[in-house]
Amino acid sequence: MMQKKNRAFLKWAGGKYSLVEHIQARLPQANKLIEPFVGAGSVFLNTQYKRYLLNDINPDLINLYNFLKVQPDAIIHDARSFFNGERNDEKMYYALREEFNATEDEYYRAILFLYLNRHGYNGLCRYSLAGRFNVPFGRYKKPYFPEHEMFVFAEKAQKATFTCLPFEKVFTRARRGNVIYCDPPYAPISKTAAFTSYAARSFGQDAQEKLAELAMRSAKKRGIPVLVSNHDLPLTRSLYKGADFSMLSVKRSISQNGATRKPVDEILAYFPPSAVVKKPKRNQRKTIVAKK
């Protein structure tokens, strides 16, 4: 009997809830799972590792996760009041969005980030070049307050360390015995499909190439297995050359109004660990036992 899956408490474009079983099947046993692009955390929530290192380049996301880990009762209680009829209003939404962009209070900002995520359009997380959150009002009849999902996340977060670092630095923290799962911003399926302003920064082809290089090097040179998700494209197959491929087909909105949905092929690229031979230390003296 399959264990019931845990849902993320955030709405998140590209979330992996529907693909969790496929990802679980490709992830090897390890003492720690490292995610350089944790996003909403569906893989984290549905795997059973002893420890987790969960990273994202979005500081607002990591800020919310840290408060939920340390003060779950307080932040859930305080966030609940933002999910009422009064605040599910276009004028109020834009006023609170402005407060979010202006405040330096990290706790209040965490609460507003959750509010904006659930009341904004289509679960998008988007920033202007100036770093201002700019997702429009979502016009939902009654946005769901994910109290249960937040408590589940908070409980499991006790096994996790959250960081906000470039993905390259996260790879340097991996050790043998760990496994790395990467769910980066996907390579665009067309020239007009690129969406790179998730954290007011771009993730272009140079970053895709760097990630592929680090994945291969970690597996071959350091003995650390790496699993990467992306669109199934000639570009990604070339980037992940030498990996073991699994193909998946998922339905995803490809237009702004969400009316057009079609299967999009995705790929799981697994870089298995190579045996790492330890080099002998230089100038290591041999012990010679004299014959009597």
Strand 261-271 to strand 244-253: parallel, antiparallel, or no bridges (unpaired)? antiparallel
pLDDT tens by residue, 231-270: 999 999 999 999 999 999 876 654 445 555 566 799 999 9
| Biggest CA pair distance of the chain | 95
Query: Domain check: are 71 and 196 in the same one?
Result: no
**Residue 85's pLDDT band (boundaries 50, 70, 90)?**
confident
Query: Domain check: are 148 and 65 in the same one?
Result: yes
- Say how far apart CA 17 and CA 214 lie, in whole Å: 26
- Domain end, chosen from 163, 178, 197, is at 163
∠ at Cα 230 (144, 132), nearest 5°? 50
Q: Is residue 292 part of a domain?
A: no
- Closest alpha carbon to 243 in 279, 278, 219: 219
The amino acid at residue 262 is K
Query: Domain check: are 182 and 209 in the same one?
Result: yes
- Say how far apart CA 18 and CA 69 lie, in whole Å: 25
pLDDT for res 252:
60
Strand 261-271 to strand 226-231: parallel, antiparallel, or no bridges (unpaired)? antiparallel
Query: Domain check: are 241 and 251 in the same one?
Result: yes
What integer best gives the mean pLDDT of the chain?
A: 90
Q: Is residue 131 part of a domain?
A: yes
- Say how far apart CA 180 and CA 171 lie, in whole Å: 8
Output b/e per residue, 118-136; b: 16+ Cβ within 10 A: bbbeebbbbbeeeeebebe
CB 125 within 8 A of CB 39: no
**Residue 174's pLDDT band (boundaries 50, 70, 90)?**
very high
pTM: 0.89
CATH code assigned at 46: 3.40.50.150
* 30-34, 107-111, 274-278, range with the lowest pLDDT: 274-278
Query: Domain check: are 35 and 170 in the same one?
Result: yes
The encoded tokens of residue 91 equal 């004028």
The encoded tokens of residue 244 equal 């073991």
* Overall average pLDDT of the 32-50 stretch: 98
CATH code assigned at 66: 1.10.1020.10
* 26-30, 190-194, 225-229, 282-286, range with the lowest pLDDT: 282-286
**Residue 288's pLDDT band (boundaries 50, 70, 90)?**
very low
- Closest alpha carbon to 28 in 291, 271, 260: 271
Whether the pLDDT of residue 285 is over 80: the answer is no
The encoded tokens of residue 69 equal 């880990």
Query: Domain check: are 51 and 168 in the same one?
Result: yes
The encoded tokens of residue 102 equal 């202006």
Q: Is residue 126 part of a domain?
A: yes
Query: Domain check: are 32 and 70 in the same one?
Result: no
User: Annotated binding residues for S-adenosyl-L-methionine, as ranges?
Assistant: 12, 16, 56, 183
Q: Which domain, by its residues, includes 95?
A: 59-163
Query: Domain check: are 171 and 267 in the same one?
Result: yes
Whether the pLDDT of residue 175 is over 90: the answer is yes
- The 8-class DSSP code of residue 157 comes to G
Q: How many helices (H) and strands (E) does the chain have?
A: 10, 7
Query: Domain check: are 64 and 97 in the same one?
Result: yes
For the chain, the 3-state helix, strand and coil shares in percent, each to the nearest 5, are 35, 15, 45
Q: Is residue 289 part of a domain?
A: no
Q: Is residue 237 part of a domain?
A: yes
Query: Domain check: are 123 and 267 in the same one?
Result: no
Query: Domain check: are 31 and 70 in the same one?
Result: no
Q: Is residue 5 part of a domain?
A: no
Q: Is residue 285 part of a domain?
A: no
Q: Is residue 284 part of a domain?
A: no
Q: Give the chain's domain count.
A: 2
User: Annotated binding residues, as ranges?
Assistant: 12, 16, 56, 183
